[in-house]
Chains A and B, each alone.
Chain A
Amino acid sequence: MTLAADPSVLRGSDLFSTLSEAELRAVLDAGVIRRLAKGQRAFAQGDLGVTCHSLLHGRIKVVKTRPDGGQSVLRFIGPGEMYGTVAAMMNQPFPADALAIVDSVEVVWTVSAFRELMVRFPEIGVRCMSCAGFRLMELQTRLGEMSADRVERRIARTLSRLARQAGRRTPEGILIDFPITRQDLAEMSGSTLHTVSRTLAAWDHEGITESTRRHITIRKPHALVALAEDLACDRTDIPAVV
């Protein structure tokens, strides 16, 4: 089955948003559109980093297996975002698995094709660097949190970041708009399933969140931010957003 090769699908991508229609056509032609079924990997940890990826549709979980066998969720990738690119450009193996957690569609380029695109359209390189820089800053922040912050605060910050990245207003509040489990949250915030379950249960009880097995809605975003940023406030009289 042929997927629509309309260059405007790239219009929402971080890397290509300033390009013209004709330029987007050149970018798309230099790569391949690929479907990923839920559970399928775009690339595996340790694979040779020979491809650059940009997500068109769906959601990718970037998860690293540590030497001790545990897993760390580095980030979730949403439509428009790149992944694998930094490792590929640096000629390094992919540092983590990129796993489709829902049916997804990506564009894939070989490293050489992507390099050519960057030379031809320098703006792509600038945006690549901004994206990589942003992620680096975020990881530095998270590293600091791991050393210094209480686990409840780390979980709150993780959830807050997810809301920023993938939050959607619903009648109930702010929904994290993709399936996310307590295990995912634990692996993202450097805590355990037990601690996340206990923390979410407490927050559900306080009306800060409303969580199911695979979805989380933030009902009191300010209360969550107060936890995440250690703001002084009385959490009991904060109204839920409706």
Chain B
Amino acid sequence: MPTTRTPIRPDAHLTVATCLAVWPSLTSIFVQHNMACPGCDMAELMTVAEAAEVYGKDVEAFVGELRQAGGD
């Protein structure tokens, strides 16, 4: 389940909402991938891994992109 401590970097187990709250610039990554996560009602209730999976993305690759995009 998602952690509640302040995260150090994007992680597959964080909720989408947490990621976007801590690193707002990651919104553009989601948008580039045509993912409707920013503003989604489910963002606090789904992890980055789950979001990547439902959109057919490779989880590790996606998290890598998030980290590279300034979430590191």
Q: Interface of A with B (CB < 8 Å)?
A: 160-161, 163-164, 167, 169, 174, 221-222, 224-225, 228-229, 231, 238-239, 241
Q: Which 6 residue pairs are nearest across A and B when measured between Cβ atoms?
A: A164-B41, A222-B54, A160-B41, A221-B42, A174-B45, A167-B45
- Residue pair B53, A221 in contact (C-beta under 8 Å): no
Alpha-carbon separation in the docked complex, A238 to B55 (Å): 9
Closest Cβ neighbor of A220 among chain B residues: B54
* B65 located at the interface, meaning its Cβ lies under 8 Å from any Cβ of chain A in the complex: no
Closest Cβ neighbor of B44 among chain A residues: A164
Alpha-carbon separation in the docked complex, A228 to B44 (Å): 17
- Residue pair B40, A225 in contact (C-beta under 8 Å): yes
List of A residues within 8 angstroms of B50 by Cβ: 241
Tell me which of A174, A221, A229 has the highest count of chain B C-beta atoms within 10 A of its own C-beta: A221
Count B-side interface residues using an 8 Å CB cutoff.
13
List of A residues within 8 angstroms of B40 by Cβ: 225
Q: Supply 16 A–B pairs (Cβ within 8 Å), ascending by A.
A: A160-B41, A160-B42, A164-B44, A164-B45, A167-B42, A169-B45, A221-B42, A222-B42, A225-B36, A225-B40, A228-B41, A229-B36, A238-B54, A239-B54, A241-B46, A241-B50
- Residue pair B42, A174 in contact (C-beta under 8 Å): yes
| Given A169-B1, A238-B54, A239-B53, A221 and B45 contact (CB-CB distance below 8 Å) | yes
New A-B pairs, 10, CB < 8 Å, besides A164-B45, A225-B36:
A160-B41, A161-B41, A164-B42, A167-B42, A169-B45, A221-B45, A222-B46, A222-B55, A224-B42, A231-B36
List of A residues within 8 angstroms of B54 by Cβ: 222, 238-239
Which residues of chain B in 14-42 are interfacial with respect to chain A, using CB atoms and an 8 Å cutoff?
36, 40-42
Alpha-carbon separation in the docked complex, A160 to B36 (Å): 14
Nearest-Cβ distance from residue A240 to partner chain B, whole angstroms = 10
Alpha-carbon separation in the docked complex, A161 to B45 (Å): 12
Alpha-carbon separation in the docked complex, A231 to B36 (Å): 8
| Given A160-B41, A163-B41, A239-B53, A221 and B36 contact (CB-CB distance below 8 Å) | no
Nearest-Cβ distance from residue B48 to partner chain A, whole angstroms = 13
Question: Within the complex, which residue of A163, A228, A229, A231 is in contact with B45, where a contact is CB–CB below 8 Å?
Answer: A163
Tell me which of A225, A228, A238 has the highest count of chain B C-beta atoms within 10 A of its own C-beta: A225
- Residue pair A163, B42 in contact (C-beta under 8 Å): yes
Alpha-carbon separation in the docked complex, A225 to B35 (Å): 12
Alpha-carbon separation in the docked complex, A160 to B40 (Å): 9
List of B residues within 8 angstroms of A174 by Cβ: 42, 45
